[in-house]
Amino acid sequence: MRILSWNIHKGIGGTDRHYSLERVISVIEGQNPDLICLQEVDRNVRRSRHDDQPRLLAEQFKVASYDYQLNVHLKEGGYGNLVLSRWPFLAHHHISLRYHETKPRGAQLAVVETPEGPLQVVNWHLSLTARMRLWQSQHLLAHRLFKEALHHPTMIIGDTNDWRNQLWKAPFHEHGFRQITSPPSHFRSFPAYLALGSLDKAFFRGDIDIRHAGVVKSPLTRQASDHLPLVIDFHLRPQTSADNE
Q: Do 59 and 27 meet the contact criterion of CB atoms below 8 Å apart?
A: no
Lowest mean pLDDT among 131-135, 166-170, 227-231: 166-170
Please tell me the distance from the alpha carbon of residue 6 to that of residue 40, in angstroms, as a whole number. 9
Which residues is 191 bridged to in the sheet?
none
For the chain, percent of residues with pLDDT exceeding 90: 93
In the chain, count of helices (H) and strands (E)?
Answer: 5, 12
Residue 134's region, left for phi above 0, alpha for psi from -120 to 50, else beta, is: alpha
Closest Cα partner for 121 from 168, 73, 167, 65?
A: 65
**Are 8 and 39 within 8 A, CB to CB?**
yes
Dihedral sign, CA of 235, 237, 179, 146?
A: positive
Q: Report DSSP state, residue 19.
A: B
Report the first-to-last Cα separation within the chain, whole angstroms. Answer: 27
The whole-angstrom separation of Cα 176 and Cα 154 is: 11
pLDDT of residue 170: 83
Percent of the chain with pLDDT over 70: 98
Distances (CA, A) of 53 to 109, 126, 133, 137: 20, 21, 27, 27
* Type of residue at 153: P
> Which pLDDT value is given to residue 239?
73
pTM of this prediction?
0.96
- What single string gives the DSSP state of each residue in 94-146? EEE---TTS---EEEEEEEEETTEEEEEEEEE--SSHHHHHHHHHHHHH-HHH
167 three-class SS:
coil
If one compares 68 and 243, the residue with the highest pLDDT of the two is 68
Q: What is the CATH superfamily name and number for domain 2-244?
A: Endonuclease/exonuclease/phosphatase (3.60.10.10)
Q: What local confidence, expressed as pLDDT, does residue 240 receive?
A: 59
pLDDT for the residue numbered 242: 46
Q: Which residues pair with 157 in a beta bridge?
A: 123, 202
Yes or no: say if 27 and 9 are a contact pair by the CB < 8 Å rule: no
Q: Is the pLDDT of residue 94 over 50?
A: yes
- Where in the chain are the domains? 2-244
pLDDT digits (tens, 9 = 90+) for 17-50: 999 999 999 999 999 999 999 999 999 999 999 9
How many residues does the structure list for the chain?
A: 245
**pLDDT above 70: residue 241:** no
18 three-class SS: coil
Sign of torsion, CA 48 52 55 60? negative
Give residue 201's pLDDT band: very low, low, confident or very high (50, 70, 90): very high
The pLDDT assigned to 157 comes to 98
Residue 243 pLDDT exceeds 80: no
pLDDT in tens, 43-70: 999 999 999 999 999 999 999 999 999 9
Average pLDDT over residues 125-143: 96
Mean pLDDT of the residues in the chain: 96
